[in-house]
Structure 1
Amino acid sequence: MLYLSALVKRPMADRGGRVLGRLADVIVRLRGADYPVVTGLVAGVGGRELFVPVEQVDSFDGGGLVRLESAKVDLRPFVRREGEVLLRADVLGHRLIDVAEARLVRASDVELAYRNGQWLLFCVDTHRPRRLLWVFGEHAHEHRCRDWKSFEPLIGHRRSALVRRPTVRIRGLRPAEIADLLEEASKDEESEILGHVHQDPELEADVFEELEEDLATRLLGARTDEEIAAVLGRMRADDAADAIGDLPQGRRRLVLELMPAGQRAKVLTLMGFNADSAGGLMGMDFLALPGTTRVAEVLAAVRDSRRLQPEALTSAYTTDMEGRLTASARLVALLQAEPEARLAEVSEPDPVRVGPDTDLVDVALLMTDYNLITLPVVDEDGVLLGVITVDDVLEAMLPEDWRRREVAPPPDAHRAASAPRHQEPSP
């Protein structure tokens, strides 16, 4: 095994020991879910960077030299190809995404392992050196490496990033975790993370819902009106309304006109309410059915409502022919009821509700007093307008900088930390 820090700037010589130049970088090729394979070296020769195929390398550790099979080298300047990563330029000292812990870490070194006739990028050391060791008359750092597959690199090279997109691991993170990464990222890192997220439009919309207001406004503002409308068209209507309100006045109308008609109508309705009122807090995703609907049919409707906010589906509402709220049934009551029972039979009549002008504190008090997960909002005629979920109330009442607070780890976090971190690649 070899560490990149021990290779960089090492003299490169032919078999006779004649020094030709110095090793400037190591090139690996990305291979989807497999370990990247070393394909060559970048040699610094006379102020120029040249490509040396890995097949031409006789030994990496021949008396402190990188020994080549011959002195013949391609004198054309090195040009990076699609899918290639330069370990010194792109990884060493740069940040990566620790996928398991959903955080950005910095690579202090990388380890190469020789397996089945080829050198592989095997693991990454993200720790500061703890102490120095004396090895063969030289100082060397003690390394604590983790499997390369535990990370998602942010390499900055657009053509190589495009190659990674089909297997990129960041899209397996929760939207809130990706939002946290974006809030910590540099401008270049933001661009690469968003480039991966953009491949999944639904995930992209979920991530923008979780972003801090200022960051979401900046990132959206850098896009065209059409691109903004595409993202907001997939977001929850209440979050989309907030985002529209943060755009410059001159862009709001243009973006609204480009949004799908149904979403535009919801957003316009929500924009008419004060942000700290029940109308400003509510979402317009809810399930309302006639009281004669069988419980089995209600549950089927819940299963089919994949585009509705899940938090709002913890209750089903009964409305009359004019859309006035008459009753509500919690999901647990529906699950415990007989499939052939009617919705009206398992519902609570005259449910707690508020008007759209009710202020935030009164909303919070009502939800606390009645142990509510959701709270319906009705107009002066009792027509159901929307539903407030408890997470919306919590977000509105927490301090503005709550997202920056360091969350305490779960009590079992030590188990993951103590798990084996270094595993040999399979043959």
Structure 2
Amino acid sequence: MAVATPRVFVSHLSGVAVFDPNGDQVGRVRDLVAMLRAGRGEGGARAAGDRPPRLLGLVVEVAGRRRIFLPMTRVTGVESGQVITTGVLNMRRFEQRASETLVFGELLDRRVRLIETGEEVTVLDIGITQLPARRDWEIDKVFVRKGGKGALRERFLRRETPAAQGGGGRRTGEALTVEWSAVTGFSLEEHGQGAESLLATFEQLRPADLAGVLHHLSPKRRAEVAAALADDRLADVLEELPDDDQVEIIGKLQDERAADVLEEMDPDDAADLLAELPEEAKERLLTLMRPAEAADMRRLMSYEERTAGGLMTTEPVVLRPDATVADALARVRDPDLSAALAAQVYVCRPPDQTPTGTFLGLVHFQRLLRDPPFTLVSSLVDADLPALAPDTALTEVASYLATYNMVAAPVVDESGSLLGAVTVDDVLDHLLPEDWRETEMHGAAAAGRTPRFEEG
């Protein structure tokens, strides 16, 4: 009796933990690497004896967000939401070769055609299977939706199999699972490729991790994925990308959308990005932004970059003296606030938008938790802590935060008005080397790759 070979649909592997034989986690799956065999995917009839694409290995993200290549010959098990390896890993960073194809990055959402009918379909998932009595894997199934563009986003979010979607049906617009040999067009250049299925596989990623995904895509796919992201999600991701990637992505968006995304970013990050753009593009985008947002951007860009004014955000939590502890706690519960900004509130006389009226002091979050909800914040103000001037140098800002054990600090002008707040994450961004994000995404290993002698 024939032994059934295991089959896995790749959407189930996104972010899956990779363990060594001792049970220690070594990383997480970020993509799969395949080789499309010559003569396949370009259209026309299949040659007799043609085999499906070979799955070469996995792209695994290890400590320090370094991405390495894990050959499938080193994978001993893919089961129960985990990948088991032999424990032998080459820790040099992964660099895609010209003959290789990334399954998540390049195959999902691709529009291909059914050979039998010539009908255009969109790839939603890819099925891989292990060859009998070997550790080699190949692509053997393709889960598609008829009608070209469109994806079963819900399926990925629920992590269901194509079978659970009734994949055997062939009604117009329905999803179905077909053999790899039943479709054509994987190797053809495609413009305007969608990104819904790709994004669905990475739905739960933190912005910093999704930024790593975008950074490693081709410029074409990076632009397509950015176009498919919601404005607020794209804004969060842009804040985690190297400067060059930010400029590239924002430059490929329509001006109106680029302005919307900049408005969703933290003001200091948006101002830094605007400062990297050509003068004409910068003014064009500022003109399209809401007047209040544009005014904040211009104000931030008027300060030297490595000063408190250049580092600060113009949107700290500001309360009037007659606000209560309950009011303050309601404000810091906002899930869109960073942990640093939610750590304390700033009490000022009206107006309560920066630049404010007279800055009276701040109240730490822990103090808010210790007092009754009806207590006025004006009675809890820490007025002894000195504020930073906008021209305070970066090193002095760092010393201030370290001296007073703070995660954020107020920035106040000569008239005593609160201009904004500097957070520790922004200070760290500027204390680290300028290319730290890119270095982190590529890993600390030396450039270049050793030959993949372990591929079998």
Kept after mapping to 2: 8 A contact 1:285/1:309: no
Pair 349,107 (structure 1): closer, same or farther in 2 beyond 3 Å: same
Q: Which residue of 2 aligns with 1:82?
A: none
Ranges in structure 1 where 5+ consecutive residues have no aligned partner: 5-27, 34-41, 53-63, 67-85, 113-119, 126-132, 410-427
Q: Which residue of 1 aligns with 2:397?
A: 363
Pair 291,29 (structure 1): closer, same or farther in 2 beyond 3 Å: closer
Pair 50,162 (structure 1): closer, same or farther in 2 beyond 3 Å: farther
Q: 1:385 aligns with which of 391, 413, 419?
A: 419
Kept after mapping to 1: 8 A contact 2:66/2:440: no
Give the alignment's Cα RMSD to 1 decimal. Answer: 4.6
CA distance in structure 2 between the partners assigned to 1:97 and 1:226 by the alignment = 37
Pair 380,43 (structure 1): closer, same or farther in 2 beyond 3 Å: closer
CA distance in structure 1 between the partners assigned to 2:313 and 2:414 by the alignment = 18
Q: TM-score, normalised by structure 2?
A: 0.58
Amino acid at match of 1:353: A
Q: 1:241 aligns with which of 271, 283, 308?
A: 271
Pair 122,107 (structure 1): closer, same or farther in 2 beyond 3 Å: farther
Q: 2:201 aligns with which of 127, 144, 169?
A: 169
Q: Secondary structure at the match of 1:326?
A: strand
Question: Alpha-carbon deviation of 1:265?
Answer: 1.4
Q: 1:261 aligns with which of 291, 294, 303?
A: 291
The structure with higher relative contact order (CA 8 Å, sep 6+) is 2
Q: 2:341 aligns with which of 303, 307, 312?
A: 312
Q: Which residue of 1 aligns with 2:109?
A: none
Q: Which residue of 1 aligns with 2:20?
A: none
Question: Alpha-carbon deviation of 1:311?
Answer: 2.4
CA distance in structure 1 between the partners assigned to 2:129 and 2:296 by the alignment = 48
Is the aligned partner of 1:49 residue 2:44?
yes
Pair 285,123 (structure 1): closer, same or farther in 2 beyond 3 Å: same
Q: Secondary structure at the match of 1:168?
A: helix
Pair 372,191 (structure 1): closer, same or farther in 2 beyond 3 Å: same
Q: Which residue of 2 aligns with 1:24?
A: none
Question: Alpha-carbon deviation of 1:370?
Answer: 0.8
Question: Alpha-carbon deviation of 1:291?
Answer: 2.4
Pair 30,171 (structure 1): closer, same or farther in 2 beyond 3 Å: closer
Kept after mapping to 2: 8 A contact 1:279/1:377: yes
Pair 164,183 (structure 1): closer, same or farther in 2 beyond 3 Å: closer
CA distance in structure 2 between the partners assigned to 1:29 and 1:364 by the alignment = 45
Per-residue Cα deviation, 1:380-414 (whole angstroms, up to 9, x for no partner):
0110000000111111101123224459x9xxxxx
Q: Secondary structure at the match of 1:328?
A: strand
Is the aligned partner of 1:300 residue 2:349?
no
Amino acid at match of 2:404: Y
Q: Secondary structure at the match of 2:44?
A: strand
Q: Secondary structure at the match of 1:385?
A: strand
CA distance in structure 1 between the partners assigned to 2:217 and 2:343 by the alignment = 35
Kept after mapping to 2: 8 A contact 1:326/1:350: no
Amino acid at match of 1:320: R
Is the aligned partner of 1:220 residue 2:215?
no
Ranges in structure 2 where 5+ consecutive residues have no aligned partner: 15-36, 79-124, 143-155, 160-185, 351-355, 444-456
Question: Alpha-carbon deviation of 1:202?
Answer: 0.9
Question: Alpha-carbon deviation of 1:371?
Answer: 0.7
Q: Secondary structure at the match of 1:355?
A: coil
Question: Alpha-carbon deviation of 1:169?
Answer: 2.1
Structure number with greater Rg is 1
Question: Alpha-carbon deviation of 1:278?
Answer: 0.6
CA distance in structure 2 between the partners assigned to 1:237 and 1:406 by the alignment = 24
Q: 1:278 aligns with which of 282, 297, 308?
A: 308
Q: TM-score, normalised by structure 1?
A: 0.61
Instruction: Tell which deviates more after alignment, 360-369 or 289-298.
Output: 289-298
CA distance in structure 2 between the partners assigned to 1:361 and 1:386 by the alignment = 18
Per-residue Cα deviation, 1:51-95 (whole angstroms, up to 9, x for no partner):
79xxxxxxxxxxx979xxxxxxxxxxxxxxxxxxx963xx84597
Q: Which residue of 1 aligns with 2:95?
A: none
More strand by share: 1
CA distance in structure 2 between the partners assigned to 1:216 and 1:327 by the alignment = 36
CA distance in structure 1 between the partners assigned to 2:243 and 2:412 by the alignment = 28
Pair 249,338 (structure 1): closer, same or farther in 2 beyond 3 Å: same
CA distance in structure 1 between the partners assigned to 2:388 and 2:38 by the alignment = 71
Question: Alpha-carbon deviation of 1:219?
Answer: 1.9
Pair 406,124 (structure 1): closer, same or farther in 2 beyond 3 Å: farther
Q: Secondary structure at the match of 2:409?
A: strand
Amino acid at match of 1:385: L
Q: Which residue of 2 aligns with 1:81?
A: none
Q: Secondary structure at the match of 1:348?
A: coil
Q: Which residue of 1 aligns with 2:435?
A: 401
Q: Which residue of 2 aligns with 1:61?
A: none
Is the aligned partner of 1:179 residue 2:203?
no
Pair 226,99 (structure 1): closer, same or farther in 2 beyond 3 Å: farther
CA distance in structure 2 between the partners assigned to 1:65 and 1:87 by the alignment = 10
Question: Alpha-carbon deviation of 1:352?
Answer: 2.3
CA distance in structure 2 between the partners assigned to 1:214 and 1:246 by the alignment = 9
Instruction: After TM superposition, list the pairs within 5 Å mapping 1:25-424 onto structure 2.
Output: 49-50=44-45, 88=53, 92=55, 122-123=127-128, 141=135, 161=194, 164=197, 168-196=200-228, 198=229, 200-303=230-333, 305-321=334-350, 323-405=357-439
CA distance in structure 2 between the partners assigned to 1:124 and 1:195 by the alignment = 33
CA distance in structure 2 between the partners assigned to 1:192 and 1:124 by the alignment = 29
Question: Alpha-carbon deviation of 1:159?
Answer: 8.2
Amino acid at match of 1:278: A
Pair 267,94 (structure 1): closer, same or farther in 2 beyond 3 Å: farther
CA distance in structure 2 between the partners assigned to 1:403 and 1:29 by the alignment = 28
Amino acid at match of 2:437: R
